[in-house]
Structure 1
Amino acid sequence: MSDCFDYSSDDTEDDDQYDEEDVNCNEYDDDDFYKSDDQFDGRNQISDYAGEGTNRTDSEEESFNSNVVDSHGGKTKLWKPIVPKDFMPDVDAIYQSLEEAVEMYKLYADKAENHNHPLETKEERRYSKRARRLSYKDKEFIVRSSTSNIGATKAHKLQASLQGGYENIGPESIDYKNFRRKVGNIIGDKDAQLVVDKMNMRKDEFHNYTFEYKCVDSVLNAMFWADETDKLYYKEFGDVISFDATFRTNKYGMIFVPFTAIDNHKRSINIGAGLLSNESIESYRWLLEAFLKAHVKHPQLVLTDQDPAILQAVEAIFPNSNHRLCMWHIMKKLQAKVSTDFLKNTDFRKRFTKLVWNVYIEPEVFESRWKLLMRKFKLQDKRWFKDMYRDRKLWIPTYFKDMSLHGLMKTTSRSESVNSFFNKYSNCGNLLIYFMMNYDTALQSNEMLNIN
């Protein structure tokens, strides 16, 4: 996994591509990112007002210059307004509230600001640099939008819609884009470390939170996490579990592996999750060992994909558990093993599905009907069908009638919904920190769906 952050494009939108003109136009100083957006020192450098093309008389010029003073150290010239003593701020004054201090400043400004340049109109005011400064809420909105795959330009449009029009928001679209770019540059190669720090903080703060990770040559290689709710779910409903290693959902191509079970309301529940940089036997063994360390108890039945590395890892770490292949993954692969026309113009899919899900026939009946089906559609020499027949005891229900099937049937039938659910909140261009934010959002949404 590379720690180098390539931000050649925005998260989802073509119109958010950053060209040189965009980046340099109205760009803030570097320290603007860290300053409070409401920070303003009440002083104006004389250079800000010079050269505005105003026509002052000699007496006016002399009067104006009489208010020019040197700053501490003499490096900067400042304009010191003359105001009635009652409105002059005291250096050691103490105010009871922020509102009181702001009111003082407003009164002072009203008496002091005899401008040497034309005042801006109400319509022009929103284009000033101060008006275009991003508030904390603006920044939070931009970041949260990006975690939902909403680019900076669309986020600006959405904010304008929420606020009742562009005239009601200060920052422009380019300000959103510049900040989004700046956030990416600041995170940069610290991405993986941010995630590890975030998870370790949760481990320190929350009771019974498990977080394990592994690095290879100082690069994040694998991680697993499960909170107290995950553990409670597993304790009650962990007899039958499944884990899906088909998601590649972040910038570094890491594989996201959610572990799921079924509760007493027949709903899919999360019992842990992991990220892997590769699909080796060693990686899957490490992940399952971390899972077992968190949950202690071995599951009775484990459902997985057909990946050989997974098969060997499950056999090594869960030697006393039954292992079966996920029917949903097999049926999904069926579409790639025969042509679309074949599936569309024959009743093969219907016959195939009816046969493999039949829990009432004996094994020898299944074998006889399978061979007839293969001959009828001339598939007996196809490699994939031969392999599936060889592994029939791992996925055809008739071969494990002695096993409780309610968990198996419901888990496999829900694998597609779990797959689609997590894909909704994932993006292959995500940084890890954004991926983790999406994951949290996904779980919260799932909890709300379960409550409703």
Structure 2
Amino acid sequence: MKGAEAGVATISGDATASPLPQAMLVSGCSLNEDVACASTRVLDVAPVVKSSIAHAWPASSSGVVRSLKSCKNLILAFVETQKVSVGDVLETLEQAHEKCIEYANCPLGQKTSKHLKFIRFLCFRGGQASMKQSLVSTEFQREKRTLKCQCPFVIKLRLNQASGVYEVYQKNNQHNHDLFTEVELAQMPQNRFIPDEVKTKMLELNELGMRRCSQIKTLIEQEHFPDVPITWTIRDVQNLLQKSSSRARETNDFVKLLKDKNNHGWSFNFQLNDDTLRLERVFWISANGKEKYVQFNDVLKIDATYKMNRFGMSLVLFTVIDNHGLTVLTAGCLLSNGQFDSYSWALQQFRPYTNLDPIVLFTDGDMELARAIKDIWPTTVHLLYRFHISQNITRALASSLRANLSGFMDDF
């Protein structure tokens, strides 16, 4: 924005320092305010200005003047549409936020009053970092620089109750820090997007069996759409494929995969909800897992992740330690919830495939899982992970031991 305003300001100044196209010198045009509009500084303001001159630049003298006048008007219109002034009226809050970000050239925070009557758009570096009270000694605290530098940039709007539009009634367009470049702004989440034709091609490649997002992104950028500006990341491709995928199809594919594994010595079982027919529980154990458990069934570890996948199901893993001290995955299951019935079902599925109850079993502090273990494997010694015990100690004693906590944990 500052570059655009500076470029327009040169229209009435000295333009002799700016390189002019050869067509203008041959035609003998005087260096008036229209010719100065061809300054390199102005041409760098926006790609739209460059393309307009490139397509509309005639060879005749009169055509040059007409094109330069059009260029001047285009730049002035561009600056005017990007500017935010006191008294401007914006139809919606989304429109106001988008225009203010374009004007600010940096991310903006938003603060609103009750019922959205007053809106403030603040620079993300405005204000100052709050000094939080910490129970950790200063010498052990992590040093982290703050982005807050009390930037004064702010645009204030108020809601017109009668018309429902937002009016700009105050602004301060000054920053006290460096702004983002155009490349950096394009990589921000709110500015990244995938064109519709590119989305269609990405989904087509995925349907043909290409599963790795990095490969899809590379093909799109190098083979199919090399001329399209890159405004997306691998994470955007991942999100696109996930949104377009059918969960019902994925469930069928997963069950089909487990059935195919039967030919390689795997065993599995699953359970559907009687009312919704939703897959609620599924258990699998590999041939290698059965063999390893029979050899090293003295210590078994069970760990569950709490609904970390997009299906909202808990993943429960059964692992043992072999004679080389390596962790070996023996079995796994997906459960729709972490209740006693679900854990009991999982343990009951594990038992017939191995016919050996573990001697010692390590888990976290899940009480429902502990109840199921006591019910299904009453002779098994159930212990907790040292990691979870240390977490409990840290939570209970950090405020009391302070700097001595680290040494205490080492001794423990």
TM-score of Structure 1 vs Structure 2, range by shorter chain: 0.3 to 0.5
TM-score (norm 2): 0.46
TM-score (norm 1): 0.42
Name whichever structure is richer in strand by fraction. Answer: 2
Name whichever structure is richer in helix by fraction. Answer: 1
